[in-house]
């Protein structure tokens, strides 16, 4: 869920920013603010930014919604996971070498 939430948030922010850029370009065209950009090019960018921005917002919403559905179908209970790992004893510290042989007994040094 977290990955889909982060991804949908990123797509949503980018889509929102593109819509903001399209809005600002449109406002400049309406107010006849002097610009070095050709008027036809500004209209092309307004249409392009609006289309891509709306597409990204819809895609972000679909990703977020699919992440919610996936979480509902496969819930993860953290209490069971933590309890399962905490209840297992640490046997590797008591076991011998990895090849399965018994460790040699230590002799006291005199």
pLDDT at residue 15 in the model: 97
Confidence bin at 72 (pLDDT 50/70/90): confident
110 pLDDT higher than 60? no
Query: Which is more confidently placed, 87 or 30?
Result: 30
List pLDDT tens digits, range 81-101. 555 555 555 555 555 556 666
Residue pair 1/67 in contact (Cβ under 8 Å)? The answer is yes
The phi, psi pair for 53, rounded to 5°, reads -60, -45
Q: Which of 1-10, 29-38, 99-108 has the lowest mean pLDDT?
A: 99-108
Residue pair 46/26 in contact (Cβ under 8 Å)? The answer is yes
4 pLDDT higher than 80? no
Ordered by start, the domain boundaries in the chain are: 2-72
| C-alpha span between 43 and 29 (Å, rounded) | 8
Kindly report the pTM of this predicted structure. 0.62
């Amino acid at each position: 869920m977290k990955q889909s939430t982060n991804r949908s948030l990123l797509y949503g922010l980018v889509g929102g920013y593109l819509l903001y850029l399209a809005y600002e370009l449109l406002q400049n065209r309406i107010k006849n603010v002097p610009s070095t950009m050709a008027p036809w090019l500004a209209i092309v960018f307004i249409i392009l930014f609006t289309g891509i921005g709306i597409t990204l917002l819809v895609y972000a919403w679909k990703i977020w919604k699919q992440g919610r559905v996936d979480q509902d179908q496969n819930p993860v209970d953290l209490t069971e996971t933590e309890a399962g790992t905490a209840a297992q004893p640490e046997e590797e510290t008591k076991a011998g070498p990895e090849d399965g042989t018994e460790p040699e007994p230590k002799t006291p040094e005199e």
